[in-house]
Amino acid sequence: MEINHIYPQIFLQGVDQQTLGNSVIIDVREQHEWDYYHMEEAKLIPMGQIPHRMGELPEDADIYLVCAHGVRSLRVAEFLKENGFDRVINVDGGMAAIAMFRGVQYD
């Protein structure tokens, strides 16, 4: 199964220039990670809650997935693809890479 990926700098350009359309950004980290640093544009749905909260995800829009370093979000992308969501995109490097490109200390 092929999962779509996006480089963090390209993702951030899309966010900053508002060219991601009607897409959603889902942060699959835990609450304490979110509290430390997060993107205002994202919605928090921790990885373990995804199976119970799939009804909150659009089936007709791109879903960008982020976590700390891109590993959990990749697993969530695979799970969503297996469950009929075709428009999932993993943000490579996760919030660590996003923070780096935004000049924020993370980790």
Separation of CA 34 from chain center: 12
Q: Which residues of 19-31 are buried (b: 16+ CB within 10 A; e: fewer)?
A: ebeebbbbbbbbe
Asked if residue 51 belongs to a domain, the reply is: yes
Expressed as residue numbers, the domain containing 39 is 4-102
Asked if residue 87 belongs to a domain, the reply is: yes
Asked if residue 44 belongs to a domain, the reply is: yes
Residue 60 phi, psi (nearest 5): -120, 25
CB 55 within 8 A of CB 28: no
Check 26, 50, 67, 77 and give the catalytic one.
Answer: 67
Asked if residue 75 belongs to a domain, the reply is: yes
- State the DSSP string of 46-73: -GGGGGG-GGGS-SSS-EEEE-SSSHHH
Count the domains in the chain: 1
- pLDDT one digit per residue (tens) for the chain, 107 residues: 799 999 999 999 999 999 998 999 999 999 999 999 999 999 999 999 999 999 999 999 999 999 999 999 999 999 999 999 999 999 999 999 998 887 776 65
pTM: 0.94
Q: Order of strands across the sheet with 88-91?
A: 4-6, 88-91, 63-66, 24-27, 42-44
Is 67 one of the annotated active-site residues of the chain?
yes
Asked if residue 53 belongs to a domain, the reply is: yes
- Residue 11 sits in a domain whose CATH number is 3.40.250.10
Asked if residue 107 belongs to a domain, the reply is: no
